Amino acid sequence: MKRKLLSPILILAALGVAFSAQAHDPKEHMKDAENPNCAAMKDMDHSKMDMNDPVMQAMMKQCMKDMHNDDGDHSMGHEDASEDDHKKDSDEQHSEHQH
């Protein structure tokens, strides 16, 4: 009797662990995720931008991705990268955001 009960308990415990491990997956947020507003970078003071600053590097990464995904043109410069921002319809193509 005890062994009969043990299996379902173990299965439930295993499922519990499996589901808790998937909690708050970043993919949960993708359906209503915003696109980076790379157009705003145009208005920033470029003389104060330090390319060695991780904040600046992170913004460039965000907007480089935006450029590649919107235009498919990998040779485009950074200034051009921000022209086609806010294309929300491309969200579904970019649902990978693993940590």
Partner 1 sequence: MPTLTAFIKSLFIATVIGLVGAGLFIYSGVYPIGADVPHNKLSYWLLETLRERSVARAASDIQIPNDLNTSDRLLAGGADYNDMCAGCHLKPGKTASDFTIGLYPTPPNLTATSDDHGHEHGGDSDDGDSNDVAVQRQFWIIKHGIKASGMPAWGPTHSDERIWNMVAFLQRLPSLSPDQYQILTARGNTSDSHDH
The answer to whether 14 contacts partner 1 (rule: CB under 8 A) is: no
Q: Exactly one of 54, 72, 74, 75 binds partner 1 (CB under 8 A); which one?
A: 54
Choice between 6 and 29, CB closer to partner 1: 29
Choice between 5 and 55, CB closer to partner 1: 55
- Say how many C-beta atoms besides its own lie within 10 A of residue 90's C-beta: 13
Contacts for 19 with CB less than 8 Å, ≥ 6 apart: none
Q: Exactly one of 11, 12, 16, 37 binds partner 1 (CB under 8 A); which one?
A: 37
DSSP letter assigned to residue 74: T
Token pair 């157009």 is found at: 39
Q: Exactly one of 6, 15, 16, 97 binds partner 1 (CB under 8 A); which one?
A: 97
Contacts for 3 with CB less than 8 Å, ≥ 6 apart: none
